[in-house]
């Protein structure tokens, strides 16, 4: 047993825990931050992903003692952080996941959204391939990932101030040429923004 | 209320056609609304079973059998009990009553009584101050076993009767769990007169659900003798019944609650050992108990998709009409019955659409083996036969030189018809599903014309929207709803329905908002709590949208009638002139007359007293007039067609799926975004079963890789691209015409991949999974066959 001093979601907190406890155990069982999920407890699923100094980390493989003095952000911290920095309500990633239907059972999603947040922090207009890559450590069993990609793309599109490409079921209800044009427009905006950022 | 009474004569949605741009008839339905629990899940606020912490709570762990088949000679827990921090140890003797989700086949014990039947079978449970102590105590329990011959090959279990895995001779002959043989029309005659008969073997390997949330249960036994169990179950009502039976408690003294659920897919449908164990341990220790299974335990708990060996013989005319289907199926059930009785029927009963064939026979046998028990997985019982048949249909098209989509059109059964096995088909949008995938995939321009290694394949399927078989016989409603109106304008819905991520709570909310003309934010849903909610039979057989949806419409319309009557009286006009819309109540003939819905609620409460209503749903009488004829009988069927585009690497044998076009007839999309999510998630799961996943039990009875690393579920880089194409056929009995969307869209992807591989490289894959080794072997075989042919030609 030792007393840990952790910086979680902007607060410095003390927690007494056995020294072999992982960050996930301390978050869930000592600090009551149950938003971080445990899907496997051995580094395979990503449900326990949290941000440590802005980087996604598997909390089930990280000893709590190893992250003292470092900034830990859990899913519970995203909205307060966003509000503190002048935003309104949930983080745009959370809002986009909610609006795109990406939250089916939701169990994978705290980890997923934190991975997405970390991606957007360092690459604000990723391509679909980059999104796939960045989320590849987070298993989702419900969605088939499509609505997750769409959610991240919505968050990106809104941050640039354009409309995202229509989803397959939306395109189906549109005039085919209109749907194609909309998809092209969205792609062009993204490409342009990536150029400005020096990514293309 | 029965389905036929539900909507009365004429469709309830008037002339509002789906997708119509000027569709003003619906305020909420048909729009991509947020889910009611979306933001709670997005912010980490949603509470799942393992997030529940109660004061003084103990943690429990399970001791499992290391043998696949053995008698338990002795259990000694003295040393475990002596360990500081251990509060109780229980064994089979503490709960000797057997149970099973199907009341006719109760063959499970919460903890093994006299014998264990698979590696991982539960033997004892410990409650201790923490998990570490409980785990340490497990090691101190001494169990003496007498090892028996274990069965791993279903073919052996079919013929060898001793030792038998289950002793109950009344139900099980030898190691046979269930045998069903049904015949409709004359298949023998069909085969004799056919222009073409194709006969072949197929197999399905076995897969499991792997929800990302492992099973978890928490129990509390109050001082006044009320047992509360929070469990990650998808069927609260059956858990409630099973707990009462096994613990010998009055059902009225048990409360079962399903917290937010982290995925299920059928894998949380059975009552599980942990639910009984936490309850019993809470009763013994008088402290709250939690048990959380490890990922490895979830793999052994299984209840996943049955391995099947399938033999199909299909007769056809030369213009492509199927005249007869003859099937023989051997099902590897694993060690317990679970839903196996239903599985054995479904394996045959659910093949009789979307195609019409005049003769059909199936013989399906489920045997016990000493492996983790199989059960219902998304597309229960029908994914494997569908795979075999849809590949066989492609083989017929190939032999006749027909386009694979054309042969499917040719055999379409039509709408409002009856299947050969006596099932009633109502709406049927299968033809439009075919049209959609054909159009979107560019089929005509591309199929058969892509470069070697690339190909397109198609397949179709049908699935139930609930079943009129209520698991235990009773005439009470299959779904019930209660509505309560608050003076604030809030309407609370109480539903026994289990939201397992598919969004059933949201559907209930949308319907109430639609019917009462109030914003979705003014509807709160309380679900899956047996103390608070009317009974619903749970989330299985894709019944929730259809049945709970109809019950909700029923309750909401009764409530609306009360409110409009009160308002009409208040205004002194005819009730028919009162309409509830967009948070107001108006007189359709005099726009000056209008009030907020809150005011209307008050007026109605003055007139009628405390405001509320109930609603229910029961299926009409359905099914064929023969033993088992109601199993697979559904008030409506959904239909699906997929086209898959694959890329086959002939060097490595690796198949890459580039895109899956998923067209699904869901009747009406109550929320197209959620429907698309179900379609994509289904197709993803099926594609993974075909290419990556294998619930593989080795010759010792051990799982080959019980972890999320070894059991390969696709990551975001593995998942193919999906196009969800929604087809709406407006079912006459579905809620606003809706049918299911959560299971049907899984089926076609497996055979469509096989059929696409044929288009790509000309080999038929008939045995799942399609591993690179299998693909390479098929390619080698193809090569040697063509070499043999050319040499034969050369000699001649
Ligand atoms: S719980 Fe940490 S990776 Fe699965
Ligand atoms: S939403 Fe259920 S696992 Fe991702």
Nearest to B429 by CA among B201, B152, B638: B638
Is CATH 3.40.50.300 correct for B381-465+633-784?
no
For B728, the token pair is 């709406």
Work out the angle between the directed axes of helices B672-691 and A146-160 (0-180°, nearest 10): 130
Pairwise CA distance, residues B544 & B548, whole Å: 5
Helix boundaries (H) for B15-122? 38-42, 78-82
DSSP string, B243-260: HHHHHT--GGGEEEE--B
Render pLDDT for B123-178 as a digit per residue (tens, 0 to 9).
Answer: 999 999 999 999 999 999 999 999 999 999 999 999 999 999 998 766 567 899 99
Pocket probe mutation, ligand 2, options B261, B501, B678, B682, max atoms within 8 Å of Cβ: B501
Pairwise CA distance, residues A15 & A6, whole Å: 8
Inter-chain contact A105–B717, Cβ cutoff 8 Å? no
Q: Which CATH class is domain B49-148+215-292?
A: alpha beta
Confidence band for B24, pLDDT divided at 50, 70 and 90: low
Strand, coil or helix: B180: strand
- Is A48's C-beta closer than 6 angstroms to any atom of ligand 1? yes
- Is A54's C-beta closer than 6 angstroms to any atom of ligand 1? no
Work out the angle between the directed axes of helices A109-122 and A146-160 (0-180°, nearest 10): 40
What is the Cβ-side half-sphere exposure of residue B676, based on CA atoms within 13 angstroms? 30
For an interface test with B, give the residue of A93, A142, A143, A155 to mutate (most B CBs within 10 A): A142
Supply the pLDDT for residue A1. 87
Query: What lines the ligand 2 site, CB under 6 Å?
Result: A 104-109, 140-143; B 212, 263, 501
Inter-chain contact B43–A75, Cβ cutoff 8 Å? yes
Strand, coil or helix: B721: strand
Render pLDDT for B490-520 as a digit per residue (tens, 0 to 9).
Answer: 999 999 999 999 999 999 999 999 999 999 9
Residue B359 near residue B337, CB atoms below 8 Å: no
Residue B211 near residue B267, CB atoms below 8 Å: yes
Q: Which helix (H) or strand (E) holds B425?
A: strand B424-425
Pairwise CA distance, residues B558 & B457, whole Å: 48
- Residue B624 reports pLDDT greater than 50: yes
Average pLDDT, chain B: 95
Helix boundaries (H) for B596-726? 597-608, 672-691
Q: Which residues of A touch B685 (CB under 8 A)?
A: 141, 144
Sheet-wide strand order for B590-596: B578-581, B584-587, B590-596
Q: Is B721 on the interface with A (CB under 8 A)?
A: yes
Residues 6+ apart with CB under 8 A from A130: A119, A123
> Is omega for the bond preceding B255 within 30 degrees of 0, making it cis?
no
- Residue B1 reports pLDDT greater than 50: no
Render pLDDT for B327-360 as a digit per residue (tens, 0 to 9).
Answer: 999 999 999 999 999 999 999 999 999 999 999 9
- Is A58's C-beta closer than 6 angstroms to any atom of ligand 1? yes
pLDDT in tens, chain A (200 residues): 889 999 999 999 999 999 999 999 999 999 999 999 999 999 999 999 999 999 999 999 999 999 999 999 999 999 999 999 999 999 999 999 999 999 999 999 999 999 999 999 999 999 999 999 999 999 999 999 999 999 999 999 999 999 999 999 999 999 999 999 999 999 999 999 999 988 87
For A122, the token pair is 């360092």
Pairwise CA distance, residues B365 & B330, whole Å: 5
What is the average pLDDT across B588-608? 96
Domains of chain A: 2-76 (3.10.20.30), 90-196 (1.10.150.120)
Q: At B661, give phi and psi (nearest 5°).
A: -95, 120
Supply the pLDDT for residue B48. 98
Task: Note whether B3-31+476-617 and B381-465+633-784 share their fold.
Answer: yes
Pairwise CA distance, residues B591 & B571, whole Å: 13
Q: Rounded to the nearest whole angstrom, what is the distance from the C-alpha of residue A144 to the centroid of ligand 1?
A: 19
Residues 6+ apart with CB under 8 A from A185: A162, A163
Write down the ipTM of this complex. Answer: 0.98
Bridge partners, residue B173, by sequence: B176
- Residue B235 reports pLDDT greater than 70: yes
Instruction: Give the B window 268-297 contacts with A, CB below 8 Å.
Output: 294-295
Residue A102 near residue B38, CB atoms below 8 Å: no
Domain ranges of chain B: 3-31+476-617, 49-148+215-292, 381-465+633-784
Across B496-526, b (16+ Cβ under 10 Å) vs e yields bbbbbbbbbbbbbbbbbbbbbbbebebbbbe
Distance of residue A164 Cα from the nearest chain B Cα, in angstroms = 15
Render pLDDT for A38-95 as a digit per residue (tens, 0 to 9).
Answer: 999 999 999 999 999 999 999 999 999 999 999 999 999 999 999 999 999 999 999 9
For A4, the token pair is 């840990």
Pairwise CA distance, residues B396 & A104, whole Å: 39
Checking phi first, is residue A174 left (phi over 0); if not, alpha (psi -120 to 50) or beta? Answer: beta
Q: Is B464 on the interface with A (CB under 8 A)?
A: no
- CATH code for B3-31+476-617? 3.30.365.10
Render pLDDT for B254-300 as a digit per residue (tens, 0 to 9).
Answer: 999 999 999 999 999 999 999 999 999 999 999 999 999 999 999 99
């Amino acid at each position: 047993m030792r007393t840990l001093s952790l910086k979680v979601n902007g607060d410095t907190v003390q927690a007494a825990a056995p020294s072999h406890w992982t960050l996930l155990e301390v978050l869930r069982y000592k600090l009551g931050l149950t938003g971080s999920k445990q899907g496997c407890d051995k580094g395979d699923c990503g449900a326990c992903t949290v941000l440590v100094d802005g980087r996604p980390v598997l909390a089930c493989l990280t000893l709590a003692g190893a992250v003292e003095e470092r900034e830990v952000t859990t899913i519970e911290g995203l909205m307060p952080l966003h509000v503190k920095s002048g935003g309104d309500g949930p983080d745009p990633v959370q809002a986009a996941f909610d609006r795109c239907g990406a939250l089916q059972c939701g169990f994978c999603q705290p980890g997923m959204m934190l991975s997405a947040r970390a991606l957007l922090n360092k690459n604000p207009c990723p391509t679909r391939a980059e999104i796939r890559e960045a989320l590849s450590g987070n298993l989702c069993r419900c969605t088939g990932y499509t609505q997750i990609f769409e959610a991240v793309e919505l968050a990106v599109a809104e941050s640039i101030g354009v409309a995202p490409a229509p989803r397959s079921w939306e395109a189906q209800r549109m005039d085919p040429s209109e749907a194609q044009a909309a998809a092209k427009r969205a792609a062009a905006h993204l490409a342009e923004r990536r150029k400005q950022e020096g990514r293309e | 209320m029965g389905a036929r009474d539900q909507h009365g004569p004429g469709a309830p949605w008037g002339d509002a056609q789906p997708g119509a741009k000027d569709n003003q008839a619906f305020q909420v339905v048909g729009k991509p609304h947020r889910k009611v629990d979306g933001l709670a899940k997005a912010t980490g606020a949603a509470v799942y079973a393992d997030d529940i912490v109660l004061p003084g709570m103990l943690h429990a762990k399970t001791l499992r059998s290391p043998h696949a088949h053995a008698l338990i000679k002795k259990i000694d827990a003295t040393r475990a009990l002596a360990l500081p921090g251990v509060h109780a140890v229980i064994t089979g003797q503490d709960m000797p009553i057997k149970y099973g989700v199907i009341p006719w086949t109760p063959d499970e014990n919460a903890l093994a009584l006299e014998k264990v039947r698979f590696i991982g079978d539960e033997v004892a449970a410990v409650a201790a101050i923490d998990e570490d102590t409980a785990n340490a105590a497990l090691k101190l329990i001494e169990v003496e076993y007498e090892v028996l011959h274990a069965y791993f090959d279903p073919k052996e279990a079919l013929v060898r009767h001793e030792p038998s895995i289950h002793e109950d001779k009344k139900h099980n002959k030898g190691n046979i769990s269930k045998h069903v043989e049904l015949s409709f029309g004359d298949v023998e005659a069909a085969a004799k007169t056919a222009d073409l008969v194709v006969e072949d073997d197929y197999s399905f390997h076995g897969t499991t659900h792997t929800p990302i949330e492992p099973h978890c249960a928490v129990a509390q036994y109050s001082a006044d003798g009320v047992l509360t169990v929070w469990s990650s179950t998808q069927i609260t009502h059956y858990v409630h019944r099973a707990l009462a039976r096994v613990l010998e408690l009055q059902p009225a003294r048990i409360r079962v609650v399903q917290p937010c659920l982290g995925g299920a897919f059928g894998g949380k449908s059975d009552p599980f050992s942990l639910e009984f164990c936490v309850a019993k341990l809470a009763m013994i220790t008088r402290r709250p108990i939690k048990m959380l299974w490890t990922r490895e335990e979830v793999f052994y708990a299984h209840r996943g998709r049955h391995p099947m060996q399938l033999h199909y013989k299909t007769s056809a005319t030369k213009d492509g009409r199927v005249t007869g289907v003859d099937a023989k199926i051997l099902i590897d059930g694993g060690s317990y019955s679970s839903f196996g009785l239903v599985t054995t029927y479904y394996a045959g009963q659910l093949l009789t659409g979307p195609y019409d064939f005049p003769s059909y026979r199936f013989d399906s046998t489920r045997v016990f083996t000493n492996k983790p028990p199989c059960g219902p997985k998304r597309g229960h019982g029908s994914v494997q036969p569908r795979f075999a048949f849809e590949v066989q249909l492609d083989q017929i098209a190939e032999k006749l030189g027909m386009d694979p989509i054309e042969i499917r059109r040719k055999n379409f059964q039509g709408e409002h018809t009856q299947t050969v096995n006596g099932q009633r088909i109502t709406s049927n949008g299968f033809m439009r599903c075919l049209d959609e995938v054909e159009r979107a995939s560019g089929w005509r321009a591309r199929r058969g014309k892509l470069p070697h290694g690339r190909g397109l394949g198609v397949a179709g399927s049908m699935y139930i929207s609930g079943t009129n078989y209520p698991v235990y016989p009773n005439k009470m409603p299959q779904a019930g709803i209660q509505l309560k109106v608050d003076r604030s304008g809030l309407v609370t819905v109480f539903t026994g329905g289990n939201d397992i991520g598919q969004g059933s709570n949201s559907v209930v909310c949308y319907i109430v908002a639609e019917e009462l003309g109030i914003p979705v934010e003014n509807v709160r849903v309380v679900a899956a709590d047996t103390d608070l909610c009317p009974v619903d039979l749970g989330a299985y057989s894709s019944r929730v949208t259809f049945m709970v949806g109809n019950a909700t419409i029923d309750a909401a319309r009764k409530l609306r009638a009360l409110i409009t009557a009160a308002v009409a009286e208040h205004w002194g006009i005819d009730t028919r002139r009162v309409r509830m819309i967009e948070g107001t109540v108006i007189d359709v003939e005099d726009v000056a007359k209008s009030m907020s819905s809150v005011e209307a609620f008050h007026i109605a409460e003055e007139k009628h007293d405390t405001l509320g209503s109930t609603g229910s749903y029961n299926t009409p009488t359905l099914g064929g007039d023969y033993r088992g004829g109601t199993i697979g009988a559904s008030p409506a069927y959904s239909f699906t067609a997929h086209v898959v585009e694959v890329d086959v690497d002939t060097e490595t044998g690796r198949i890459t799926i580039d895109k899956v076009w998923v067209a699904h007839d869901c009747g009406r999309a109550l929320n197209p975004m959620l429907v698309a999510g179900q379609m994509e998630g289904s197709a993803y799961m099926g594609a993974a079963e075909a290419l990556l996943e294998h619930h593989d039990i080795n010759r010792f009875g051990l799982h080959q890789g019980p972890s999320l690393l070894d059991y390969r579920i696709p990551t975001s880089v593995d998942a193919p691209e999906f196009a969800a194409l929604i087809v709406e056929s407006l079912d006459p009995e579905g809620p606003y015409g809706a049918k299911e969307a959560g299971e049907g869209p899984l089926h076609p992807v497996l055979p469509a991949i096989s059929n696409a591989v044929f288009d790509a490289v000309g080999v038929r894959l008939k045995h799942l999974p399609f591993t690179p080794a299998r693909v390479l072997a098929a390619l080698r075989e193809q090569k040697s066959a063509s070499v043999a042919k050319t040499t034969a030609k050369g000699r001649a």
